[in-house]
Chain A
Amino acid sequence: MTPTVTSHRTRPPAQPASLRARRLPWYAAPAIAVAALALSVVIVYGTGIGGPVLVIVLGAVLYLVGLFAAANAVEGRRSARNRTWSALIHSAFVLAVLPLASVVWTLVSKGTERLDGDFFNTSMNNIGARDPNGGAYHAIVGTLEQVGIATLITVPLGILCAIYIVEYGRGKFAFAIRFFVDVMTGIPSIVTGLFVLAFWVLIVSPWFNDGRPSFSGFAAALALAVLMLPTIVRSTEEMLRLVPAPLREGAYALGVPKWKTILRVVLPTALPGIVTGVMLAIARAAGETAPVLLVAGGGAAINFNPFENNQSSLALFVYQQAGEASKYSPARAWTAALTLVALVLILTIAAKLLARRNRLSR
């Protein structure tokens, strides 16, 4: 009589027999890549169906297939899928970076041609199609003034609006505000330009200009403000919501009034994120062409006064120079584009540094 042995603990089926597993050697992936490229060259040029681009695309596909097959044979299915998806994700990253790198390279290589003192010291006033010099001084002044005024308008308004939505707003009114901010996000810039043209330039500005409507940098700033406001409200709102409720409660429990809690505890905590949102809005506004063209009109001369007469901006300058019938204008357009990107970059870095200096260093 044999006693039935029932083991007290059976091993669950998911438990592996060993913790070790077979791995592909380190040189497997590069070797497969080389083999895939070689095979791709043979196929593409052997059949004569395409050029180097097809070689790379086909090579990448063959590499993925080969990698999956090899890993599947040696390491098993899970590992094979892991390797294939990792390779796909890396290729997606490369695909995303390629256009960015290409833009930066084009900007720098073409934009440095006119990157001289003249460009930053002169305007396009009295510059004809045959003149090689001329510059974007007036456009830089216009961009700085218009974006500056728009920022001065939208930053307080946007942050206060977000504070209302997050900290005070209850019920239908707050919901309506959020809804319309969302709607504003989707308004095309040309429409805001038309709105300011119809409202400010045609109806309001005649009151200040002896009855005649007038283009102005301020009108452009208003249009940019309409564009910036929803971005700032939404990003600030998200950042304020990220501030943990226990921080607010901690301040309330010390007998700090609500407004002071918001001002001294909530806003400083959310500041770095708010700054990022504001900088995104500024970057977007600085790159707008259509509203400036519609309500500031552009212009070749330097105009420091944003409240009277035509003003240009860097984005508008790029647009106008790119369409100019002069062999010197494309170089000016590229340099202006480079200047615009550099300007936004410098502003962003400066703002980030400022926001960080207020925080404590860890």
Chain B
Amino acid sequence: MAKRVSASNVTAYYGGFKAIENINLTVEPKTVTALIGPSGCGKSTFLRSINRMHEVLPGARVEGSLTIDDQDIYDRDVDVTAVRRTIGMVFQRPNPFPTMSIFENVVAGLKLNGVRKKSILEDAAEKALRAANLWGEVKDRLAKPGAGLSGGQQQRLCIARTIAVEPQVVLMDEPCSALDPISTLAIEDLMFQLKDKFTIIIVTHNMQQAARVSDRTAFFSIEKTGDPGRLIEYDNTQKIFSNPSVKKTEDYITGRFG
């Protein structure tokens, strides 16, 4: 299921503005990798370029190569929708589809991609909701609107929606920043479980969270406003948080800047 993601010389632009420059990084299968760094350093941009969501914005483009198990996702003959089905994404703010019920939200990815059979959809919904630790809370109200859940439940619904299409890599863009500590804990627990099946890459501003959930940590930074973001250090999480090899990483982690 899980696949290796590797980036070489990835540079991303918003129109004329270079947001990240020459990112080289390899993410091993079935691990959790955290991307940390100050605001505006390009971690989210890098994350979004991994499943080609960056180019959704007008004028945005990516250079360099990004491969999923040796297949370059920026090849000319690559189908973008297939890339996004392989690499799922959870966003900062929960974004359940407001016109759909809880059940429809979970199976949206399957249904909108042509799966019609009700039994398959029902099985997939239960499996995904169980995996997202939400089944117990919503199993009696699957027909109710997804937007009626609490923020933490909505975010787990979005995670369920993402894993229902059985991707190989799951990207999470600050998935807990809009949530309270208890919902955050629920989602962190979930990441531990999902690690068995998926490769997870998470952007977070919360360094404790990065230290708790991730196996490897990548630290991004910028020289000054307007400069492109660069990868400063990428290592085992334990090493980054106890004995980083770059001074800048240490400064950031100990709170001296950023």
Q: Which residues on A are within 8 Å of B, measured CB to CB?
A: 170, 244, 246-257, 260-261, 264-265, 268-269, 271, 358-360, 362
Contacts and interface: CB of A to CB of B under 8 A. Distances in A.
B14 to A, nearest CB: 15
B225 interface: no
Contact of A252 (B84, B86, B144, B148): B84
B66 to A, nearest CB: 16
Contacts of A271: 99
A360 B145 CA distance: 6
B95 A252 contact: no
Given A253-B51, A255-B81, A265-B112, 13 more contacts: A247-B95, A250-B95, A251-B108, A252-B53, A254-B108, A254-B113, A255-B83, A260-B112, A265-B99, A268-B99, A358-B99, A359-B99, A362-B145
24 contacts: A246-B93, A246-B95, A247-B98, A248-B56, A249-B56, A250-B161, A251-B112, A252-B53, A252-B84, A253-B51, A253-B84, A253-B91, A254-B84, A254-B109, A254-B113, A254-B161, A254-B162, A254-B165, A255-B81, A255-B84, A256-B108, A269-B98, A358-B99, A360-B100
Contacts of A261: 112
B97 A255 contact: no
A255 B165 contact: yes
A269 B82 CA distance: 25
B255 interface: no
A358 B145 CA distance: 12
B2 interface: no
A269 B91 contact: no
A360 B97 contact: no
A251 B97 contact: yes
Contacts of A260: 112
B53 A253 contact: yes
Contacts of B95: 244, 246-247, 249-250
Interface of B: 51, 53, 56, 58, 81-86, 88-89, 91, 93, 95-101, 108-109, 112-113, 144-145, 148, 158, 161-162, 165
Nearest to B145: A360
Contact of B91 (A250, A255, A358): A250
Nearest to B100: A360
Contacts of B88: 253-254
A327 B93 CA distance: 68
A269 B97 contact: yes
Contacts of B113: 254-256
Q: What DSSP secondary structure best describes chain A's contact surface?
A: helix
Residue in A170, A256, A360 with the greatest tally of chain B CB atoms within 10 Å: A360
Nearest to A243: B98
Interface centre among A253, A254, A255, A260 (most CB of B within 10 A): A253
Contacts of A359: 99
A255 B144 contact: no
B145 A255 contact: no
A246 B51 CA distance: 15
A269 B148 contact: no
A360 B101 contact: yes
A362 B98 CA distance: 11
Contacts of A249: 53, 56, 89, 91, 95
A86 B158 CA distance: 46
Contacts of A246: 91, 93, 95
Nearest to B84: A255
B84 A247 contact: no
Contacts of B145: 360, 362
A244 B99 CA distance: 13
A248 B98 CA distance: 12
B165 to A, nearest CB: 6
A170 B161 CA distance: 31
Given A246-B91, A260-B112, A362-B148, A253 B162 contact: yes
Contact of A269 (B99, B108, B158): B99
A255 B109 contact: yes
A1 B51 CA distance: 77
A265 B97 CA distance: 7
Nearest to A254: B109
**The 3 A-B residue pairs with the shortest CB-CB distance in the complex, in nearest-first order:** A255-B85, A254-B109, A253-B89
A269 B100 CA distance: 9
A266 to B, nearest CB: 10
A256 B112 contact: yes
A264 to B, nearest CB: 6
A130 B64 CA distance: 88
A265 B98 CA distance: 9
A257 B86 CA distance: 14
